[in-house]
Amino acid sequence: MSCTTVLVGRKASNDGSTIIGRTDDGHFDVKKMVVVDPKTVKRTYTSKIEHLTIELPENPMRYTACPSVSEEKGVWAASGINAANVAITATETITTNPRVQGADPLVKYRPKKGRNTKEVPGGISEEDIVTVVLPYIKSAKEGVKRLAGLIEKYGTSEMNGIAFSDEKDIWWMETIGGHHWIARRVPEDRVVIMPNQFGMDEFDFNDAFGKKKDFMCSADLKEFVRDNFLDLNNDGNFNPRNVFGSRRDHDHVYNTPRAWSMGRYLCPTSIDWDGPDADYTPESDDIPWSFVPERKLAPEDVKTMLSLHYQGTPYDPYSASAEKKGIYRSIGINRTGVTPICQIRGYMPDELKGVEWICFASSTFAASLPVYTNVSKLPKYLTDVTLDVTTENFHWASRLLGCLADPCFGESILAVQRYQEGIASEGRRIMNEYDKKMAASGKFDLLEEANEKLCEMARKETTEVLNEVVGISAAKMKNGYNRSDN
């Protein structure tokens, strides 16, 4: 699935939180946000696409998820935070190359053909990962280990990047071919940017096969690389991107420009992004996997990064004067289903640590609403979503706003930006109020009340901006005529 990921280490965030966020860019997938009750979790899981059956452990934990409303192609839970305040976002589809695929092919479902063949299940995939991993892990590192075991046992049907976070650490994991994997702990002072490409650009095998403090990988990864002549590095350093990744024309219009755009946001003055002497261009293959940002980031910054469309550059699809507009794939695109941003606030009591900033549809126009995750249920404004268009839930109201505002971007964007800032500001105010109230009293039964207030505010603000943008859009209709009937 085409997505964009941002990971913020705790020393790179404004309050010491770990933050992981991702745009989930399906084919206009209709999404909702729910809480999964562990009592409803079955011991056996079977995927819809790959027909893979997995036996699950006992004692799953409660967790949030952003599943697809239609279950035709499976759960696709996307992201969530569990009762142990461990978060996951799964997955970022990444690239690879024919050498890797030839050495360790992906494990794809093969249906029964004729009387003498059997159905062969495929491997684990994006459809499954949140469901079979998140309820069973109590740390980010544990998440890597559990998923690694599943991939080694069942294989995987696709190349994916997965982020796990807890209150201290973020781990980033990338799959390699059908059965191999590599993982790295995100440096605490850095921000990782991932635009649908194999990302990691350095790796320490000594640590991976020693203390495993910052690096982990498949037990046979060294031999796999050596025996299949995968290493293209010629400077003595092991750059995983050169070994397992790609360097295609497609990357230069679809992937690397997004990394360039996010890098500009993180380091606007210390790195030269423009002109003939630029350190990096939109088509550079060596844009770093992570940066020490010039200033610390909050969840609102992650939302901004995941909404970028090359503002202030010649590539902005909404700029009338941009001579190369639309030639590169934007981050905030029309087919995004959901953009969850998981924040684990280590400085708060356990009951208040998990906050998920939820944003539906195109992130360029939609707002990001914070909600507490340590609850047994969520408001209907987030959960009661069907395949029918309506203004009665956050998903469809957000989708409608984007559809109305996009054709009249110049006239409507000010109203949209006021709306986005209003949701963020009032959301902050409500959370600050309830944070203080619950931390002081120890009455954490107010969590669901706080979420109801947050959603009621979001409903009001979204209705108001829809009213305004409908008026703007109606005035721009092609069949308008100035002469009055009166």
Tell me which residue of 166, 149, 159 sits closest to 56, measured CA to CA: 149
Asked whether 352 and 372 are in contact (CB, 8 A), the reply is yes
456 half-sphere exposure, CB direction, 13 A CA radius: 7
CA–CA gap between residue 233 and residue 248 (Å, rounded)? 17
Task: Tell me the sheet residues that pair with 337.
Answer: none
Tell me which residue of 381, 279, 414, 348 sits closest to 16, measured CA to CA: 348
Asked whether 310 and 330 are in contact (CB, 8 A), the reply is yes
User: Is 3 annotated in the active site?
Assistant: yes
Concatenating the DSSP letter of every residue in 159-203 gives -EEEEEE-SS-EEEEEEETTTEEEEEEPPTT-EEEESSS------
Q: What is the pLDDT of residues 391-435, one digit of tens each?
A: 999 999 999 999 999 999 999 999 999 999 999 999 999 999 999
Give domain limits for the chain: 2-364, 381-477
pTM of the entire structure? Answer: 0.97
pLDDT at 114: 83
Tell me which residue of 313, 330, 81, 286 sits closest to 197, measured CA to CA: 286
CA–CA gap between residue 153 and residue 143 (Å, rounded)? 16
- Spot the catalytic one: 3, 267, 359, 455: 3
pLDDT at 485: 63
At 438, which amino acid appears? M
Q: What is the pLDDT of residues 86-106, one digit of tens each?
A: 999 999 999 999 999 999 999
- For 420, the token pair is 């986005």
Q: What is the pLDDT of residues 240-249, one digit of tens each?
A: 999 999 999 9
Residue the block writes with tokens 């279950």: 71
* Residue 332 burial (CB count, 10 A): 24
Task: Name which residue leads in pLDDT, 333 or 486.
Answer: 333
CA–CA gap between residue 253 and residue 330 (Å, rounded)? 10
Q: What is the pLDDT of residues 189-208, one digit of tens each?
A: 999 999 999 999 999 999 99
Average pLDDT, integer, range 70-99: 96
**Percentage of the residues of the chain whose pLDDT score is greater than 70:** 99
Asked whether 95 and 175 are in contact (CB, 8 A), the reply is no
Per-residue pLDDT band for 175 (boundaries 50, 70, 90) equals very high
pLDDT at 2: 80
Distance set, CA 331 to CA 106, 303, 414 (Å):
27, 11, 20
409-441 helix and 394-405 helix, angle to the nearest 10 degrees? 150
pLDDT at 1: 61
Task: Name which residue leads in pLDDT, 183 or 116.
Answer: 183
CA–CA gap between residue 65 and residue 277 (Å, rounded)? 45
- For 317, the token pair is 């699809």
pLDDT at 116: 84
Per-residue pLDDT band for 355 (boundaries 50, 70, 90) equals very high
pLDDT at 486: 61
Distance set, CA 262 to CA 7, 122, 189 (Å):
12, 35, 17
